[in-house]
Amino acid sequence: MSSKYVYFFGKGKAEGGASMKNLLGGKGANLAEMTSIGLPVPPGFTISTEVCTYYYSNNDTYPQSLKSEVESHLKDVEKLMERTFGDPKNPLLVSVRSGARASMPGMMDTILNLGLNDATVQGIIAQSGDERFAYDAYRRFVQMYADVVMGMDKHSLEHLLEMKKAERGAQLDTDLTAADWKELVAEFKKSIKEHLGTEFPEDPHAQLWGAVGAVFGSWMNQRAITYRKLNNIPADWGTAVNVQSMVFGNMGDDCATGVAFTRDPSTGENCFYGEYLVNAQGEDVVAGIRTPQPINLHQKLPGDLPAMEEVLPECYQQLAAIRTTLEKHYKDMQDIEFTIEKGKLFMLQTRNGKRTASAAIKVAVDMVREGLIDQKTAVLRVAPSQLDQLLHPSLDPKAVKNIIAKGLPASPGAASGTVIFTADEAEAAAKTGNKVILVRIETSPEDIHGMHAAQGILTARGGMTSHAAVVARGMGKCCVAGCGDIKVDYVGEKFVARNGQIVKKGDIITLDGSTGEVMLGQVATVTPEMTGDFGTLMGWVDSFRTMKVRTNADTPHDSKVAREFGAEGIGLCRTEHMFFDADRIAAVREMILSENLEGRLKALAKILPMQKGDFLGIFREMKGLPVTIRLLDPPLHEFLPQENKDIETLAKSLGVSTQQLRHKVEFLHEFNPMLGHRGCRLGLTYPEIYDMQVQAIMEAACELVKNEGYSIVPEIMIPLIATVSELKVLRANAVKVCDEVIARYGVKIEYLIGTMIELPRAALTADEIATEAEFFSFGTNDLTQTTFGLSRDDAGKFLPFYVESNLLPEDPFVSLDQGGVGKLVKMACELGRAARPHIKLGICGEHGGDPESVIFCHNVGLDYVSCSPFRVPIARLAAAHAALGGGTDTTK
């Protein structure tokens, strides 16, 4: 700890600077910086964060030297301002603001006009020549101070104000006179004495120390503690306190106050963008009582009030020059606050401005062109999670929304359509050109064709990685899942939403998959443009990242979309989705219902050419890029109907008795299908299924190599391995089939056989498993389920509560749980590499598209991540951030 606690800034000189955020907080550091580069900043000083730390380590006391340091710097301010703190003739007033390293709502924000009392108010009257202004400022100060520093109940003083207005027959505060405000100040002080038993401090120095103590005290209030916890901000960072001489934007028509961005935060366009109010204080802009005016003509629309460029042209030119200075200095788009007091401009704040995704891209690319920043910096300026906004249509922000329910934002984008409750009807309606929203209690693989046909999907049950959510994200289709607000009545063909609102089949609703909102009627959507800057930036992204990005795709169409988004291969091609196609499911069911090997082989022979066709299509689309194909994973009962009616229909079509079919369905029933007879367990008990799939893969590959000159190295992935013994057997089976096919075609082709690591046991024994696996692909969806003992499909009932209550920092199905699941992944990487140094490592869970998880994957040294086609650009950018040491994605 240094022995210096207070840092002065004023008139071109400052003891601090922008690099001292840890010590001075964001606000204090930038005030000092602006002062140093010659901008007009009202002078003041910052009490450092070390004092806060000292305060809490020493029973709420200050370091001994603090008092004299503050007094000395207060004198410096008085000198520069040519006013004196507490001087009845020519008083100095100050503001006191908190300022932590990171912006922290929940802490004390601001006390203005500090230094006013019955004596100094006279000096303000003299300075301003405006008694009403002076008493208004005085009463505002008393109100603010009583509330924030003294802990007085807000409502008592507001009540007095209302009484006064009633007494005077006044509608607005502005209807009150100087005398009224003066009376109110006295009444406020009396009420404070009555309620708190203490006098309102008249001594400006007592006021100052009271305010400083209140800032430090607010660091440990409940709201601040909760906010820090939620945002992982350590308590020992502490806050700084900024004491700054007051300037007034409300002393007349040559006064103003405003906020501005150095570029358009919505589009990123390189033009000055801001709002201001004449004769107003900062809080008036925020309160929204008066309509702010544009700062310049560029922005001004017909009907707008005059721009600052017109009203205060000199000040505007000065501000425009400052804008350029700031951008050159900070090399980023700035968000600024300013005040004009009697024609004189003062800067009160600057910080990096928040922006939309497209603005972020445009600003970054423009600044490279302008020579302000380099490409690396540009890449790091765009938050990967932001890109999501650019990849889906979204609701027109200006549209009116009648929200009738809210669920989980399961798959981004927005869509409107008529409500339909079954997949078949959805498909039929879509064929006739209708846009539909498929509404289900939950979806199952049998609904896939309906989901394809629909504009969006709404489910009453299921979490962020429920079937509906995962499939919808894979399709890039908007989905609101786990919407407990709605009660679906299939029989009545309707659902009941909030407040008993009934929505029938055929009614139009709109979904916002980015917020989880369900709206009645059609709400307009907008499709963000994907400008050339986006492509430019992604080019730089790819030049910096070292980790590959693949996609999860099961069809030639998805493969194509993913390639367009920059996918460098397929990390997960699920073969079972292909089984659900209407023209195949019959053969699949025939296979499942066969009582013997012969029957199964017969049915599999029908499926073989279809699977082969799938792989031909996908291999062609991927043009030689690596493709990892997972063999059959889900339990067989997923392919059979569960409802009596459907069982009857199927039995008839298959020519078996309903009872026989029902027995089979019952026999295949599982209590916990997630932990059941699936994955490699099927491959071991019914080796003929995997044999058929491997044959289809290899025949497709060999054909393309032989006849079309492709160069393909198929990656065959065996799911749900728990022990090396399973993989050993299945690998041997697969090798046998592969070698047989290769010999038959007489081509030279290599292939890899590997496994998903999706069970804790596989991760724990990855060294053993690596002896039989040429690659690992971390199936972090299932790995999260088993590591947490948490079913994705059932977690909707308590996982939101967990996240809200901060029991979990985030939904672990969305962002990889690094402390638990990640520990297993890391362990498996290390064990796997120890046994097979060049083993290929990747991830194919939903986490492959989550920026923080992608950074984790880079850090543990994975060769690639694989994600939904629509998240490929996000993963690419996150991988670049990771490679550039960009750390965690703090923008989320």
* Residues near a second copy, by CB under 8 A: 670-677, 681, 684-685, 720, 722-723, 725-726, 729, 758-761, 764-765, 768, 782, 785-791, 793-794, 797-798, 801-802, 805-808, 817, 819-821, 823-824
Report the candidate in 570, 853, 845, 577 with the shortest Cα–Cα distance to residue 715: 570
**Cα 671 from Cα 457, distance rounded (Å):** 27
Phi, psi of 591 (to 5 degrees): -65, -45
Q: Coil, helix or strand for 144?
A: helix
Q: Taking the complex as a whole, how short is the minimal distance between the CB of residue 716 and a second copy, in angstroms?
A: 20
**Residue holding tokens 């989901």?**
451
Helix (H) or strand (E) holding 843, with range, is strand 840-843
**Which is nearer to a second copy, 190 or 797 (by Cβ)?**
797
Mutual orientation of helices 21-36 and 49-57 as an angle, nearest 10°?
Answer: 150
Q: Taking the complex as a whole, how short is the minimal distance between the CB of residue 672 and a second copy, in angstroms?
A: 4
Helix (H) or strand (E) holding 826, with range, is helix 821-835
Beta bridge partners of 866: 550
CB count within 10 Å of CB 321 equals: 11
Type of residue numbered 605: A
**Cα 143 from Cα 136, distance rounded (Å):** 11
Q: Coil, helix or strand for 327?
A: helix
**Which is nearer to a second copy, 710 or 802 (by Cβ)?**
802
3-state DSSP of 597-650: HHHHHHHHHHHHHHHHHHHHHHHHHHCCCCEEEECCCCCHHHHCCCCHHHHHHH
Q: Taking the complex as a whole, how short is the minimal distance between the CB of residue 647 and a second copy, in angstroms?
A: 17
**Which is nearer to a second copy, 642 or 707 (by Cβ)?**
642
Helix (H) or strand (E) holding 360, with range, is helix 357-369
Q: Which of 844, 847, 867, 881 is catalytic?
A: 844
Q: Taking the complex as a whole, how short is the minimal distance between the CB of residue 89 and a second copy, in angstroms?
A: 58
**Which is nearer to a second copy, 711 or 798 (by Cβ)?**
798
**DSSP code string of 400-451:** ---EEEE-EEEE--EEEEEEE-SHHHHHHHHHTT--EEEEESS--GGGHHHH
| Annotated catalytic residue 680 | no
Q: Taking the complex as a whole, how short is the minimal distance between the CB of residue 849 and a second copy, in angstroms?
A: 23
**Which is nearer to a second copy, 250 or 443 (by Cβ)?**
443
Q: Taking the complex as a whole, how short is the minimal distance between the CB of residue 209 and a second copy, in angstroms?
A: 37
**Which is nearer to a second copy, 72 or 725 (by Cβ)?**
725
Q: Taking the complex as a whole, how short is the minimal distance between the CB of residue 282 and a second copy, in angstroms?
A: 39
Q: Taking the complex as a whole, how short is the minimal distance between the CB of residue 339 and a second copy, in angstroms?
A: 45
Beta bridge partners of 14: 9
**Cα 448 from Cα 605, distance rounded (Å):** 24
**Which is nearer to a second copy, 414 or 727 (by Cβ)?**
727
Q: Pull the structure tokens for residue 225.
A: 């503690």
**Which is nearer to a second copy, 209 or 788 (by Cβ)?**
788
**Which is nearer to a second copy, 41 or 722 (by Cβ)?**
722
Cβ–Cβ under 8 Å, residues 434 and 418: yes
**Which is nearer to a second copy, 186 or 801 (by Cβ)?**
801
**Which is nearer to a second copy, 341 or 758 (by Cβ)?**
758
Q: Taking the complex as a whole, how short is the minimal distance between the CB of residue 541 and a second copy, in angstroms?
A: 33
Q: Taking the complex as a whole, how short is the minimal distance between the CB of residue 757 and a second copy, in angstroms?
A: 11
| Annotated catalytic residue 573 | no
Cβ–Cβ under 8 Å, residues 744 and 724: no
CB pairs under 8 A, 24+ apart, for 304-310? 308/256, 308/258, 308/276
Q: Pull the structure tokens for residue 486.
A: 């709605």
**Cα 754 from Cα 771, distance rounded (Å):** 10
Type of residue numbered 771: T
Q: Taking the complex as a whole, how short is the minimal distance between the CB of residue 572 and a second copy, in angstroms?
A: 18
**Cα 573 from Cα 627, distance rounded (Å):** 7
Pairing of strands 752-757, 715-718: parallel
Cβ–Cβ under 8 Å, residues 526 and 355: no
**Which is nearer to a second copy, 232 or 671 (by Cβ)?**
671
**Cα 164 from Cα 532, distance rounded (Å):** 60
Beta bridge partners of 345: 340
Q: Taking the complex as a whole, how short is the minimal distance between the CB of residue 633 and a second copy, in angstroms?
A: 12
Q: Pull the structure tokens for residue 591.
A: 């296979």
CB pairs under 8 A, 24+ apart, for 794-799? 794/463, 795/463, 796/408, 796/461, 796/462, 796/463, 796/466, 796/481, 796/482, 796/484, 799/463
**Which is nearer to a second copy, 2 or 805 (by Cβ)?**
805
How far is CA 537 from each of CA 284, 332, 560, rounded to the nearest angstrom?
Answer: 39, 16, 21
**Cα 86 from Cα 114, distance rounded (Å):** 10
Helix (H) or strand (E) holding 478, with range, is strand 478-481
Q: Which of 392, 467, 847, 881 is catalytic?
A: 467
Q: Taking the complex as a whole, how short is the minimal distance between the CB of residue 668 and a second copy, in angstroms?
A: 9
**DSSP code string of 450-469:** HHHHSSEEEESS--TTSHHH
How far is CA 690 from each of CA 556, 572, 594, 608, 875, rounded to the nearest angstrom?
Answer: 22, 16, 16, 11, 32
Question: Which amino acids are annotated catalytic?
Answer: 467, 844
